Structure 1
Amino acid sequence: MLCVSVTLESYHQIQSITDKYSFIFSSIGVHPNERDGRDPTADELVELARNQRVVAIGETGLDYYRSQGDMRWQQERFRHHIQAARASRKPLIVHTRDAAQDTLDIMRTEDAAAAGGVMHCFTESWEVARAALDLGFYISFSGIVTFANAQALREVAAKVPDDRLLIETDAPYLAPVPYRGKTNEPAFVRYVAERLAEVRGTTLDKIAEQTTKNFFSLFQSARH
């Protein structure tokens, strides 16, 4: 299980969980919408990522939905995270919303492919998914894929190669049907897997087996 960092200030809470439970790992990073906390340098992220319980850099990326105006501060933060991922040899957890082209452009110019990673809580088009796949990234689906109005996303989910597919909750947000609107929790990931099994014409057990294998292929330091 992976607990994802969104601020440096709250990371100590994540660390207390990963120190207590051997099956839970963490990332280190600052969410693109966070403006109140400290903004880390690439070197600082690399140093924090030395913790053996940290298996990824992020959550990072671009979000033009909740933040408007001059977005250079967000783009620069994203670049620092990619640089840290390459230096630490740990994969990225990438968030993108209303910013797909800029996200992909920065991933290309900063050579995010050298680090690898996952497009988390994916909601974009097949064209964006294919571009990320071409960079060696995985595609992860959340409870959104179970929503009635998410048919276009389900069509994307049906096309992602087996060996690049991941599932997540994005808890405490985006609880899947039948818990939509309630507080999300890790146990609800089963409903994401069930919907993907239906969409992809396979079984729940096969989705569970494949996505578990993919998790450890991507987050290789979690295998140790």
Structure 2
Amino acid sequence: MLIDSHCHLDFPDLQAEIDDVVARARQAGIGRMITISTRIRQFEKIRALIERYDDVFGSIGTHCLHAHEEDDIPLDTILELAAHPKVVAIGEAGLDYHYDYAPRDVQARGFRKHIAAARLTGLPLVIHARQADKDIGDILEEEMEKGAFSAVLHCYSSGPELARRGLALGFYVSFSGILTFKSAEEIRDIARFVPHDRLLVETDAPYLAPMPFRGKRNEPAFVANTARILAETIGLNESEVARQTSENAFRLFTKMPRPDGIKAAA
């Protein structure tokens, strides 16, 4: 079994044939999918999916690219929506200096609000980081001093220093189809130093399809391709990577139950 720890099943690219997308994921051995919120005001789309499919879980949060659109949403609203039994994470939230759609101070304020939500709920924070490594690391370290919280650096494409800072805080690192790109040797080097018990795999579907599907629409079934390259990269076989990354996902997303008949590793 594999777990797609980050996808966007509510996005139009996948919604048009969502039943088939979920069916193909199941056929590929994907036992759990976590569909990630990008706008709190569109949570009903997430709710519909997680209540429709037993193996789909969700998060609640505002993507930093939309931070200015939902800056007025209070922390209490996040906490209320996070109480849904199938919401297993907070976010995604963080900093994105590549597009700069939202003012950087607004992004930072939203990031800290989501960290507070993760701390108060005990749910892990899903972190988006793009071209903002130092500021991301500084905020995470400052906030950790206020009280512990768990998190994952999702779709890892930053430099080695942010990975090390995140790992030092006890966080997980998730790799997407980027890991399979020929140009991504630095990302593969980072995967090699991440402890095996902190590794996750994801698609970030409908984006970033792994080889040999690069340039096409991504979907959860393709996480198997990323897991295969991760196995080659870190010197494990595919079944070991599937077992390890699934165990890691259940350890991080503590609210997400295991499928019937799947027990924790001894």
Q: In the alignment, which residue of structure 2 is the partner of 1:125? A: 159
Alignment TM-score, normalising by the size of structure 2: 0.81
CA distance in 2, matches of 1:70, 1:16: 31
**CA deviation map 1:137-194 (0-9, x unaligned):** 0000000000010011111111110100000000000000000000000000011000
Look up the equivalent residue of 2:173 and give its one-letter code.
Answer: I
Q: In the alignment, which residue of structure 2 is the partner of 1:97? A: 130
Q: In the alignment, which residue of structure 2 is the partner of 1:51? A: 84
Over the matched positions of the two proteins, sequence identity in percent amounts to 45
Q: In the alignment, which residue of structure 2 is the partner of 1:191? A: 225
Alignment TM-score, normalising by the size of structure 1: 0.96
Note if contact 2:68-2:106 (Cα within 8 Å) is conserved in structure 1: no
1:162 aligns with 2:212: no
**CA deviation map 1:77-120 (0-9, x unaligned):** 00100011111111100010010111111111122871111000
Which one of 104, 109, 121 corresponds to residue 71 of structure 1? 104
Q: What is the SS of the residue equivalent to 2:246?
A: helix
Paired residues, what number?
A: 224
Note if contact 1:2-1:24 (Cα within 8 Å) is conserved in structure 2: yes
Q: In the alignment, which residue of structure 1 is the partner of 2:59? A: 27
Q: In the alignment, which residue of structure 1 is the partner of 2:235? A: 201
Q: In the alignment, which residue of structure 1 is the partner of 2:211? A: 177
Deviates more, 1:131-140 or 1:16-25: 16-25
Deviation at 1:198, TM superposition (A): 0.6
Deviates more, 1:6-15 or 1:66-75: 66-75
Note if contact 1:8-1:38 (Cα within 8 Å) is conserved in structure 2: yes
Deviation at 1:57, TM superposition (A): 0.4
Look up the equivalent residue of 1:91 and give its one-letter code.
Answer: P
CA distance in 2, matches of 1:91, 1:58: 9
Note if contact 2:133-2:159 (Cα within 8 Å) is conserved in structure 1: no
CA distance in 2, matches of 1:196, 1:109: 32
Q: Which has the higher contact order (CA 8 A, sep 6+)?
A: 2
Q: In the alignment, which residue of structure 1 is the partner of 2:175? A: 141
Which one of 27, 35, 42 corresponds to residue 75 of structure 2? 42
Detail structure 1 runs of 4+ shifted over 6 Å in the superposition.
none
CA distance in 2, matches of 1:199, 1:94: 23
Deviation at 1:125, TM superposition (A): 2.0
CA distance in 2, matches of 1:210, 1:175: 22
Look up the equivalent residue of 1:174 and give its one-letter code.
Answer: L
1:13 aligns with 2:40: no
Distance 1:35 1:109, change over 3 A: closer
Distance 1:218 1:53, change over 3 A: same
Note if contact 1:29-1:60 (Cα within 8 Å) is conserved in structure 2: yes
Q: In the alignment, which residue of structure 1 is the partner of 2:139? A: 106
Note if contact 1:4-1:27 (Cα within 8 Å) is conserved in structure 2: yes
1:219 aligns with 2:261: no
